[in-house]
Amino acid sequence: MKFLLMIYTDQTLLDALPEGEYDRLMKGCIEKADDLREAGVLLDSQQLELPHTARSVRTRGGNTQVFDGPFAEAKEVFAGFNLIEAPSIERAVEIAHSFPWSRFGSIEVRPVRDFAAVRERVGA
């Protein structure tokens, strides 16, 4: 079963890290991701640019608006993700916990819906 590990971070906590600590943590994460990829567990991972580079699109009543940055104001922002394959949500949570980012925000673990089944059900 596939799970998406959505990483949310609090930039003020990251900014408070001692010089070089973020790079040390990131190096460890990349090495961990490489090991998971080699084991066939990690399917994809990406880090996002900072929120101020984002645009949010909202359409209501036929009117579309584009906002600078993320639409929702939040202390923790979506910073990246890992798409993994795991036998259970419990194992997916263990994998999420093996990354340090929950100390600087949170990691949401969410099962990925079988989109091929949805496609078949709706006849697309």
Contact 83, 45 (CB under 8 A): yes
Structure-block tokens of residue 117: 């089944």
Structure-block tokens of residue 114: 């079988």
Q: Which domain holds residue 103?
A: 2-122
Averaged pLDDT score across all residues of the chain? 92
Tell me: the pLDDT tens digits for 73-120? 677 889 999 999 999 999 999 999 999 999 999 999 999 999 989 999
Banded pLDDT at 70 (limits 50, 70, 90): low
Confidence (pTM) = 0.85
What pLDDT score was predicted for residue 56? 83
Domain count, the chain: 1
Helix or strand holding residue 43 (H, E): strand 42-47
Would you say residue 46 has pLDDT above 80?
yes
Q: What is the CATH number of the domain that holds 22?
A: 3.30.70.1060
Contact 71, 56 (CB under 8 A): yes
Would you say residue 68 has pLDDT above 90?
no
